Chains A and B, each alone.
Chain A
Amino acid sequence: MSTPYLSIVAASRNDNHGGDMLQRMRLFVNGLIAQTNRHQLPVELIMVEWNPPKDQPLLQDILPKPQNGDLLTIRYVIVPKEIHQQYKRANEIPLFQMIAKNVGIRRARGEFILCTNVDLLFSDPLFRELASRKLTDDTFYRANRCDVPNGIDPEWKLETQLDWCSKNIIRRLGMDARLRNFNLEQLGMSHRAFYLRWLIDKLALPVGILVSPEKRKYYRIDTFACGDFTLMSRQAWLNIRGYVELDLYSIHIDTLGLISAASLGYRQHIFPRKACTYHIDHDLGWSAMTPLEKIKFLEARPGIDYGLILEAGLFALQRKQGLSFNSPNWGFVDLTFEEHAFPLTEG
């Protein structure tokens, strides 16, 4: 097996989290099999199966498998319950998503690594960008996330699915690549008319001159929904030491990954609007919750949030040295986990 250009890392478990999870995961895997072939891009998908429920089949037994000749390979890495139970909040949080992704990052073989989630499809313009093999190792890449209803028929061909997604966008998350002076999502103004966003973007320029460089940098990072698409070279992931490993619910830790990269001098590239991901909306998705549901959710499964992200982010950006939280063996690099690769190699 040749070294893949791109490793795609995702984490999951077969517990139907978010409702109808299997269906969304099947769409995700089938989409990748089809697109890697269409765009002739050798890719490995590392699916980290964290703390698999004992009463359910493993994901490898129920998700679509690439065949010999496909350009996608899938590696299932199984992190057993015994590891999960090392965490204080193991009973509240069944999947430590970002630690699981670190497991994948440490084992990835690709020159570039995309960390993403299992309920996404990639637009063809986005896949084309990846397949052009023009990614540079001094840059981290972001793509807008477009949420679509959970109404995709798995029987449709991929073109039909993607076409349907492009016509059924509920909301778009992520920065407009044309407006780079200020991330308007931080002000909750990303959905306003373009002229208004343009005006605020221009206004941000003189105000930006007066604030500290780290603050200016912070407010230009494309942070929203970055857990769904953060792409950089393998070396860059190693330099930032992956995602911060915390005994907390995984929300917003993805943002710290971007900030670490920016603090170490990696440049940000946001793909054009058409080169987006489509995220299949679900009931338990953070964006779909009301604020009152969010507080009850966090009371049950605590995590970190933007106030702390801002402080830690400014701290890292000012010192230009990332967030040195993780131990040297982050992602359990010192352990060998059970692994199953597809397509099965002969012999």
Chain B
Amino acid sequence: MKEEPYLSIVATSRNDHHGGDVLNRMRLFVAGLIAQTSLHRLPAELVLVEWNPPEDQPLLQHILPKPEHGDFLSIRYVIVPKEIHQRYKRSKELTLFQMIAKNVGIRRAKGEFILCTNIDILFSDKLFKALAARKLRSDTFYRANRCDVPDLIDPAWDVSKQLAWCDKNIIRRLGMNTRFKNMNPEMAGFRNETYRTQWMFNKAAWMLNLFLPEERRKYYQADCVASGDFTLMAKTAWLDIQGYLELDLHAVHVDTLAILAALAIGYHQHVFPSKACTYHIEHTEGWESMTPLEKVRLQEEKPGIDYGLVYDLGQHVLKNKRTYDLNPDNWGYSNLLFAEHNFP
């Protein structure tokens, strides 16, 4: 592929079997991208940031599928060494600072648009078609629903069969229903309610919105749940929001703060239709598959931030129409050169 990529896909991982059979899920993810970029003739690069690689395991580049010459996908592995990881106070509790790693990818991405996602995701063909149409706008950030599916996809199936299987085996759907625009029920704690209740809630929200200040209305209309799995915007937009907030904490909910920052400085939200979704392969350590009590224990083990603070921060930036301004200028270690390996 000679052309500069239209789209950079940024993800991060390490070869440590986190969440169970992570290698299998990563192989599905990479093989899916190779197939779909070719199918839809979309020049894309995957920037896979390998954070703090375990010394006793092979690097991901040695075990994941590789694109061939002529494919539309190129893969760049960026290696962030242990020495960087150990700068963080919680480096012993957390092995991968996911959002800081994604920032490393964002700063190095070459695409006009950057999609930040995770390594256990497949993209529906409808979603890929929307990306390949090259009609993305630089004043907009894009979200897609996430549909969780069981970890039973056979890697021997071709991608179209995998996607058809996913479509028929959805466990749960996360993300905004574009029919309910007055208030995102997920943001107001009404996620699992019936359609009728959500419809009613949406109507009540219309009236409520007449009294709410703009920042609160915007907050409750944002499509934030599972946004770490699909947040897409122009590279210039990522630079405007200064990437993800870099915190010495577990990465959970930091993805939401990026959405709120983009909204705060005037980017429009576009949620793709429900068929244009991602399929997330369920795993045991996944946040969504835990009981609340397990989540409290996880928080005790690997502390992070949560919605109370996300709300406060969101209100702050939405009201002031600015970003958090907490990251250093060299966020994503833009001042450092990391080892990089490109394929093909």
Check if A302 sits within 8 Å of B303, measured CB to CB.
Answer: yes
Q: Is B312 an interface residue (CB 8 A)?
A: yes
Check if A246 sits within 8 Å of B306, measured CB to CB.
Answer: no
Contacts of A290 in B (CB 8 A): 316
Partner of B306, one of A192, A210, A306: A306
Contacts of A309 in B (CB 8 A): 308
CB interface residues, B 177-218, toward A, < 8 Å = 189-190, 193-194, 196-197, 200-201, 204, 207-208, 211-212, 216
Q: How distant is the Cα of A198 from the Cα of B253 in the complex, in angstroms?
A: 33
User: Helix, strand, loop or mixed for chain B's interface?
Assistant: helix
Find the A residue at minimum CB distance from B211: A196
Partner of A295, one of B291, B309, B315: B309
Contacts of A244 in B (CB 8 A): 296
Q: Is B16 an interface residue (CB 8 A)?
A: no
Contacts of B306 in A (CB 8 A): 304-308
Contacts of A298 in B (CB 8 A): 249, 305, 309
Check if B196 sits within 8 Å of A210, measured CB to CB.
Answer: yes
Known: A308-B306, A315-B292. A207 touches B313 (CB 8 A): no
- A211-241 interface mask toward B, CB cutoff 8 Å, 1 = contact, 0 = none? 1100100010000000000000000000000
Q: Is A275 an interface residue (CB 8 A)?
A: no
Q: Is A248 an interface residue (CB 8 A)?
A: yes
Check if A291 sits within 8 Å of B316, measured CB to CB.
Answer: yes
Contacts of A314 in B (CB 8 A): 292
Q: How distant is the Cα of A206 from the Cα of B304 in the complex, in angstroms?
A: 36
Interface residues on B, range: 35 or more
Find the B residue at minimum CB distance from A255: B308
Contacts of A294 in B (CB 8 A): 309, 312-313
Q: Is B267 an interface residue (CB 8 A)?
A: no
Of B201, B299, B308, most buried by chain A (CB within 10 Å of CB) is: B308
Contacts of A264 in B (CB 8 A): none
User: Helix, strand, loop or mixed for chain A's interface?
Assistant: helix
Q: Is B311 an interface residue (CB 8 A)?
A: yes
Q: How distant is the Cα of A207 from the Cα of B196 in the complex, in angstroms?
A: 11
In the complex, what's the smallest C-beta–C-beta distance from A112 to chain B, in angstroms? 28
Check if A207 sits within 8 Å of B204, measured CB to CB.
Answer: yes
Partner of B208, one of A203, A219, A296, A305: A203
Q: How distant is the Cα of A304 from the Cα of B292 in the complex, in angstroms?
A: 12
Of A206, A298, A309, A312, most buried by chain B (CB within 10 Å of CB) is: A298
Q: Is A46 an interface residue (CB 8 A)?
A: no
Q: How distant is the Cα of A290 from the Cα of B296 in the complex, in angstroms?
A: 25
Check if A248 sits within 8 Å of B201, measured CB to CB.
Answer: no
Check if A292 sits within 8 Å of B293, measured CB to CB.
Answer: no
Contacts of A247 in B (CB 8 A): 300
Partner of A308, one of B194, B211, B296, B313: B296
Known: A207-B200, A307-B253. A302 touches B304 (CB 8 A): yes
Q: Is B248 an interface residue (CB 8 A)?
A: yes
CB interface residues, A 271-323, toward B, < 8 Å = 290-292, 294-296, 298-299, 302-312, 314-315, 323
Contacts of B324 in A (CB 8 A): 292, 295
Q: Is B326 an interface residue (CB 8 A)?
A: yes
Find the A residue at minimum CB distance from B203: A207
Q: How distant is the Cα of A309 from the Cα of B299 in the complex, in angstroms?
A: 12
Q: How distant is the Cα of A290 from the Cα of B325 in the complex, in angstroms?
A: 14
Check if B204 sits within 8 Å of A292, measured CB to CB.
Answer: no
Q: Is A252 an interface residue (CB 8 A)?
A: yes
CB interface residues, B 134-190, toward A, < 8 Å = 189-190
Contacts of B305 in A (CB 8 A): 295, 298, 305
Contacts of B208 in A (CB 8 A): 200, 203
Known: A246-B296, A323-B293. A305 touches B316 (CB 8 A): no
Check if A246 sits within 8 Å of B200, measured CB to CB.
Answer: no
Find the B residue at minimum CB distance from A249: B303
Find the A residue at minimum CB distance from B303: A302
Q: Is A188 an interface residue (CB 8 A)?
A: yes
Check if B299 sits within 8 Å of A210, measured CB to CB.
Answer: no
Find the B residue at minimum CB distance from A207: B204
Q: How distant is the Cα of A302 from the Cα of B305 in the complex, in angstroms?
A: 8
Q: Is A325 an interface residue (CB 8 A)?
A: yes
In the complex, what's the smallest C-beta–C-beta distance from B210 to chain A, in angstroms? 10
CB interface residues, B 208-257, toward A, < 8 Å = 208, 211-212, 216, 245, 247-249, 253
Contacts of B248 in A (CB 8 A): 299
Contacts of A252 in B (CB 8 A): 308
Q: Is B307 an interface residue (CB 8 A)?
A: yes
List the 8 closest A-B pairs by CB distance, nearest first. A305-B306, A302-B303, A307-B307, A306-B308, A311-B292, A291-B312, A305-B308, A312-B292
Given contacts A244-B296, A307-B306, 14 further A-B contacts (CB under 8 A): A200-B211, A210-B193, A210-B197, A210-B200, A299-B247, A302-B249, A304-B296, A304-B299, A304-B306, A305-B307, A310-B189, A311-B295, A323-B293, A325-B293
- The 28 sampled A-B contact pairs (Cβ below 8 Å) are A188-B315, A189-B212, A200-B208, A200-B211, A203-B207, A207-B201, A210-B193, A210-B200, A211-B197, A215-B189, A215-B190, A252-B308, A290-B316, A292-B316, A292-B326, A294-B313, A295-B245, A295-B247, A302-B304, A304-B296, A305-B307, A305-B309, A307-B308, A307-B310, A309-B308, A310-B189, A312-B296, A323-B293
Which residues in B have some Cβ–Cβ distance to A below 8 Å? 189-190, 193-194, 196-197, 200-201, 204, 207-208, 211-212, 216, 245, 247-249, 253, 291-293, 295-296, 299-300, 303-313, 315-316, 324, 326
